[in-house]
Amino acid sequence: MTTTTETQRSLTVHPIDPGRLDDVRRDGADTSGNPFTAFAAAGSGEPLRCCLRFARPGEQIALISFAPFVEQSVWREVGPVYVHAQRCGGYAEQSLPAGLRHGPRVLRTYRADGTMDYEHNTLVGDEDLEPVLDRLLAEPEVATVHVRTVLPQCFLYAVTR
């Protein structure tokens, strides 16, 4: 008799690196040269990429240009993201962020060398992202998945094993 044991693989969620945000705050401009300008959040759905939750009305936030990849690459896209104006506690949970774990989302898959894996890019409806991310990251060629908004396709966070 053969027994098969499946090992559960855990997902690792990657918000924007706090050190990169510290640099932007210190420099007073993002890497595209846009001024770092704080303003009060309306609280109408601004997803914060530093702590992976939605901004509360009145919180001081900023809108900056951000590229998830730091290395020079044809896959290096720059787009707008909301962050706290001051350093926050970040995101240290072991699970997907509660407010950002459901679709609709675009899941962009990347290989270990940073190239996009078009075959496994996925559009997700309103369902929970975890089973889809588990399936995508079980593919041998998929090393990282970028979770993005659907219409503007702005970066939310990255997920790895």
Q: 110-134 pLDDT, tens per residue?
A: 999 999 999 999 999 999 999 999 9
Instruction: Name the nearest CA neighbour of 48 among 72, 21, 9.
Output: 21
Q: How many domains does the chain have?
A: 2
Question: What pLDDT does 7 receive?
Answer: 38
| Dihedral (CA of 160, 113, 65, 19) sign | positive
**Residue 4, in any domain of the structure:** no
pTM for the predicted model, two decimal places: 0.91
Domain-embedded: residue 89:
no
**pLDDT level of residue 9 (50, 70, 90 thresholds):** low
Shared-domain flag, residues 16 and 80: yes
* Measured distance CA(143)–CA(126) in Å, rounded: 24
Phi, psi of 77 (to 5 degrees): -105, 145
Selection from 61, 34, 37 nearest residue 49 by Cα: 61
pLDDT at 5 over 90: no
User: Which pair of structure tokens corresponds to residue 35?
Assistant: 């001024």
Give the model's confidence band at 4: pLDDT under 50 very low, under 70 low, under 90 confident, else very high: very low
pLDDT for 6? 39
Of the residues 84, 118, 145, the one at which a domain ends: 84
Digit-coded pLDDT (tens) for 88-114:
999 988 899 999 999 899 999 999 999
Same domain for 74 and 111?
no
Does 135 lie in the same domain as 79?
no
CB 35 within 8 A of CB 20: no
Domain residue limits at 133: 98-160
90 occurs within a structural domain = no
Q: Which of 84, 118, 134 is the last residue of a domain?
A: 84
- Of 46, 62, 84, the residue that ends a domain is 84
- Residues near 25 by beta carbon (within 8 Å), at least 6 away in sequence: 36, 85, 86, 87
Residue 122's CB: how many other CB atoms inside 10 A? 16
Cα distances (angstroms) measured from residue 27 to each of 20, 95, 152 = 11, 32, 27
Residues 130 and 76 in one domain: no
